């Protein structure tokens, strides 16, 4: 397995992985997500690759992209609100491993690479959001040393 930066040539494989992730969200939360193809357009993907705050890495096995992780390093702190600490954080927007490659340590390698880059860029923590229904992901993130930071509650009306 090789962890590497993604390139514009990876778009088709990234598109398939994002479709896989989105299908799970659309199945479990149809009130929020609707079936869709091409979550990121080619232009959006290429813009992400060019951005200095965004990072896009992938895990390659035998020449195939098996997993991806998109994260950004940004300033936290309530948009200048008084009484809120200003910190650099890494926020994981997307992490997904193709179903046929799961349970091989790929997500762990991607997460470790994101963590290493985040530290190099001065981030003091990694944040992400995960849906309550995604028990596999919740277990994985806890195994990676993450703790619950807060809860977002909802009530259907």
Cα–Cα distance for residue pair 96/45, rounded to 1 Å:
16
Question: What are the pLDDT digits (tens) for 75-104?
Answer: 887 666 778 888 899 999 999 999 999 999
CB within 8 Å of 155: residues ≥ 6 apart: none
Structure tokens, 96? 């997904």
CB 22 within 8 A of CB 33: yes
> What's the CATH number of domain 2-143, 3.40.630.30, 3.40.190.10, 1.20.1440.230, 3.40.50.920?
3.40.630.30
- What residue spans define the domains of the chain? 2-143
Question: What are the pLDDT digits (tens) for 1-36?
Answer: 999 999 999 999 999 999 999 999 999 999 999 999
Structure tokens, 138? 């919740």
Sign of torsion over alpha carbons 90, 62, 20, 51: positive
Question: What are the pLDDT digits (tens) for 125-156?
Answer: 999 999 999 999 999 999 999 999 999 999 99
């Amino acid at each position: 397995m090789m962890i590497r930066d993604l390139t514009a040539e990876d778009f088709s494989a990234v598109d398939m992985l994002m479709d896989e992730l989105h299908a799970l969200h659309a199945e479990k939360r149809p009130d929020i997500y609707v079936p869709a193809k091409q979550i990121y357009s080619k232009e959006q993907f290429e813009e992400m690759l060019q951005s200095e705050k965004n990072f896009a890495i992938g895990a390659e096995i035998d020449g195939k992209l098996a997993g991806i992780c998109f994260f950004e390093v940004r300033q936290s702190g309530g948009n200048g609100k008084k009484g809120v600490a200003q910190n650099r954080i890494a926020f994981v927007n997307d992490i997904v491993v193709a179903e046929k490659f799961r349970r091989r340590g790929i997500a762990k390698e991607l997460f470790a690479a994101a963590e290493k880059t985040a530290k190099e860029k001065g981030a003091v923590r990694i944040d992400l959001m995960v849906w309550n229904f995604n028990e596999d992901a919740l277990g994985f993130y806890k195994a990676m040393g993450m703790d619950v930071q807060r809860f977002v509650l909802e009530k259907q009306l």
